Structure 1
Amino acid sequence: MTTVEKQLLASPKRTWYYLTIAVILILLIGWSAMAVTFKDVNQSGLKIAGNIIRGIIHPDWHLLFNGTKQSVPFLLLQTVAIAFLGTIVGAIVSIPLAFLAASNIVPKPISWLTRLLLIIIRTIPALVYGLMFIRVSGPGPFAGVLTIGITSIGMLAKLYVDAIEELDTRVLESMTSIGCTTFEKVRYGIIPQLMSVFMSVTIYRFDMNMREASILGLVGAGGIGAPLIFAMNGYKWNQVGSILIGLVILILIIELLSNKLRSKLIKG
């Protein structure tokens, strides 16, 4: 008998533990399945589902390729702009908040209060922010940029804090010992350690914001979402197909590019 086999035989038996976990999971799955009902699925719903599929198979090619402001390319470009500007706003605001929330940089009471603020920001859904900003600035892309910006802060600041708290302080100590100024320590000691992590996280958030920007259009915050809901309400399934095709292609392209950029930053 090998050493590995002896160790396996000598390990404590946890049969009842695993059995209890399995029973709990089965009960939770069964309880959750009770909320699923098919009573509202009727012939009309199945017909609408078929119309949606036919619309995707036979899209409105004119809407997909013309150059007007109502075309899919223009609306997708607007969605990208909303997501990009919102991500930049969120990233810029997140940096000072992240340093204020880092317990190894500021006193713990300040860190705790800043973290509490970030938790509150993350708690509120993006659609709620969208409805709030629409009331403030009116419907349109600007409301979408503000919404994307504030929803990005919660996630970006949290991940920035994790990166700041994992800083190699030995570098800063050595720079202090040779008489470096605070600016030099920030410029040559902190920024090089954080830049690649910050950029990677920001790119990942932009990828997420593309999907959120599409959804925010449903409440009037600009982008491709508003024409999509109008087309669905008007049963114009060929237009719905065109918009969905354009959206899927755009998301795939952005995801491929963001993955390549993030992998280069991580390797670099």
Structure 2
Amino acid sequence: MNAEIKKQLERQPKTWVFQIICALVFVILVAWSSSAVKFTGLAQGGMDIAKNILVGIFTPDPELLFNFTNQGVPYLLLETMCIAFLGTIVGAILAVPIAFLSATNIVPKPVALIGRLIIMAVRTIPAFVYGLMFIRVTGPGPFAGLLTMSLCSIGMVSKMYIESIEDMDIKILESLDACGCTTFQKIRYGILPQLMPDFASTIIYRFDMNLRDATVLGLVGAGGIGAPLIFAMNAYRWNEVGAILAGLIILVLVIEFISGKIRVKLARG
């Protein structure tokens, strides 16, 4: 038995040369990339600034954190969450017809190819660029953030919808068709029961992503808590930065816990 194993090992291809070449290429790439890093921009008091940042973050301003006016952290977090939620809902609704027009098992391949190209084009542009574009159209504020979140959601949600639609069991529709069901009945009893769990899970996952993206969009004036955060950082008010980050962490943890419970419920039926 040992002799057979030894012969089998001897017959295996020798890959150590290829592995050494890959390791050398990796080391060369790391060294070449490191050559572009410049440390001359570090200030002499960098350690003092880093210390002030850490102290401010871990000692948040309680007045800002528990300020329930429209200038406080709770209101700004609520605005950020509303932007992310409404943007997700609008994007998820608009993504449904695009996904069906891009699924190869529903429409002809040329039509599906056009739909996929549109989705690819939408996904190519970063959310930051969309935010700047909509701010020029609607002006700064939460509405620009809502439009940005909606458009960004279409690209990713449509792609996930397409995968669910193409994995759909067509035999169920054929059975309903043989029973003489109308198109509405086939959609109601054959398509929606198969797709709704996957669609709902995709929407929840996208909402988690939009909640973080909405914070970044505030940096360009698209509403939410991002603008106060960047203003506090530019003014070196690290206690306010700590209060805003503490509120964000709490909000993300709560949303993550709730969304995780919902996804588990959807997966297990």
TM-score range, shorter chain: over 0.9
Matching residue of 2:261: 260
Matched with 1:241 is 242
**1:165–1:7 Cα change, 3 Å:** farther
CA distance in 1, matches of 2:75, 2:7: 67
- 2:95 pairs with 1:94: yes
Look up the match of 1:12: 13
Deviations 1:83-112 (A, max 9, x none): 000000110000110001111111111111
Q: Secondary structure at the match of 1:25?
A: helix
The aligned counterpart of 2:117 is 116
Deviation at 1:8, TM superposition (A): 4.9
Q: Structure 2: how far apart are the matches of 1:102 and 1:260? A: 30
The more displaced of 222-231 and 179-188 is: 179-188
Question: How far is 1:195 from its partner?
Answer: 0.5
- 1:195-235: per-residue Cα shift (whole Å, max 9, x none)? 11111011001000011000000000000000001111111
CA distance in 2 between partners of 1:260 and 1:77 (Å):
21
CA apart distance, 1:5: 7.1
Q: Residues 41 and 192 (structure 1 numbering): CA distance in 2 closer, same or farther, change over 3 Å?
A: same
Greater displacement, 33-42 / 143-152: 33-42
The answer for the alignment partner of 2:186 in structure 1 is 185
Separation (CA, whole Å) in 1 of partners of 2:264 and 2:177 = 33
TM-score, structure 2 as length reference: 0.94
The match for 1:138 is 139
Q: TM-score, normalised by structure 1?
A: 0.94
* Identity between Structure 1 and Structure 2 (%): 59
Distance 1:132 1:11, change over 3 A: same
Quick one: distance in 1 between partners of 2:44 and 2:77? 34
Secondary structure of the residue aligned to 1:167 is: coil
Cα distance in 2 for partners of 1:220, 1:63 equals 20
1:53-74 CA distances to partner (integer Å, 9 max, x unpaired)?
A: 1111221101000211110011
Distance in 2 (CA, whole Å) between partners of 1:10 and 1:195 is 51
Structure 1 counterpart of 2:78, which letter? L
Distance 1:121 1:63 in 2: 38
Provide the residue aligned with 1:40 in structure 2.
41
The DSSP-based 3-state class of the residue aligned with 1:101 is: coil
- Can you give the 5+ residue segments of structure 1 that lack an aligned partner in the other structure? none
- Which AA in structure 2 matches 1:51? N
Return the alpha-carbon distance in structure 2 between the equivalents of residues 265 and 162 of structure 1.
Answer: 17
Distance (Å, rounded) in 2 between the aligned partners of 1:129 and 1:168: 37
Distance 1:42 1:212 in 2: 30
CA distance in 2, matches of 1:150, 1:21: 41
CA distance in 1, matches of 2:188, 2:9: 52
Q: What count of residue pairs does the alignment treat as equivalent?
A: 268
1:224 aligns with: 225
Q: CA deviation at 1:153?
A: 0.6
Query: Measured at CA, do residues 173 and 70 of structure 1 come closer, stay the same or move farther in structure 2, by a change above 3 Å?
Result: same
Counterpart in the other structure of 1:55: 56
Which is further off, 136-145 or 44-53? Answer: 44-53
Q: Which runs of 5+ in 2 are unaligned?
A: none
